[in-house]
Amino acid sequence: MRNAKIEVRPIAGTIGAEIHGVDISKTLDDATVGDIRKVLLDHCVIFFRDQSIDIPQHKAFARRFGEIFIHPNYKGTGPDPEIVGIRREPGDTKIVGEEWHADTTMSALPPMGAILYALEVPPYGGDTLFANQYQAYEALSDGMKKLISGLKAYHSDRKVAGPQANMNAHRSTKVREDADWKETVSLHPVVVTHPETGRKLLYVNHSYTTHFEGMTEAESKPLLNFLLEHGHRPEFTCRFRWEKGSIAFWDNRVCKHLAIHDAGPWRREMRRIQIAGVRPV
């Protein structure tokens, strides 16, 4: 289906746009998918309102942008390995994604994006923030850009999965903590070139980046902490308020995001599919 009424409404100065006039439950033609991809590349994260999609429709939409990525730390925690259910119940003391992060960057081939669909949301609270890492890189001084241009950093999932992380005792969304779980570590450049836009961006995040190649964690900490905090300066961000039927589709190669843990007495349930990506270079 070609939808000629696609409308793009930016929601912040440097990142984020709502797309209106597209029904994700329908089979979209190549031109419409191309339009959506262009808006994603231009705005880094895109949002749809008032959608009604089941799991097969969610998967079909994701596959228009690439193969579905199987998350190693959620594999086996639900009936369908292509789906990650993200649930927050009243009383949970932790939630998924409450640090600034890009998804699953401990992987050698991190996902290019994620499509998150709201099944049940609180009347207020539970918003998500997104931060543009093109802007984070471009705002650095020439001296800092030169300093980090050849650096690589290690990314590990030891903070977010496995028995040592002890996440399952504090939240309703469960992650692998079995004895067969093994830490995954990958080395990625600190400055990455986006494979589609060719633009440079800052590629470190709180949940996964541990230290720089050739340095200890203690030696890395001052510079790494500066880059981590710099990456979500307010002028690089947008904030999305969820409604039932909302969809967020972010370019994981250039966005960091954070789930705000402020839903109080309310339940929140989301369904996520990730899209496979390539090695950051």
User: In the annotation, is 272 catalytic?
Assistant: yes
Q: Is 101 a catalytic residue?
A: yes
199 classed as catalytic: no
DSSP for 226-277, please give it: HHHHHTT-GGGEEEE---TT-EEEEETTTEEEEE----TT--EEEEEEEE--
Distances (CA, A) of 134 to 30, 171, 192: 28, 33, 10
Q: Of the residues 101, 176, 188, 271, which is catalytic?
A: 101
Of the residues 188, 257, 268, 271, only one is catalytic, namely 257
d(CA 107, CA 229): 23
Torsion of CA 168, 160, 68, 155, to 10 degrees: -170
Describe the chain by its helix, strand, coil percentages, rounded to 5: 20, 25, 55
* 225 HSE (CA, 13 A, CB side): 6
Catalytic residue among 35, 58, 71, 103: 103
194 counts as catalytic: no
**Rounded to an integer, what distance in angstroms lies between the CA atom of residue 204 and that of residue 232?**
11
> Which letter does DSSP use for residue 14 in this model?
S
- Give me the active site residues, please: 101, 103, 257, 272
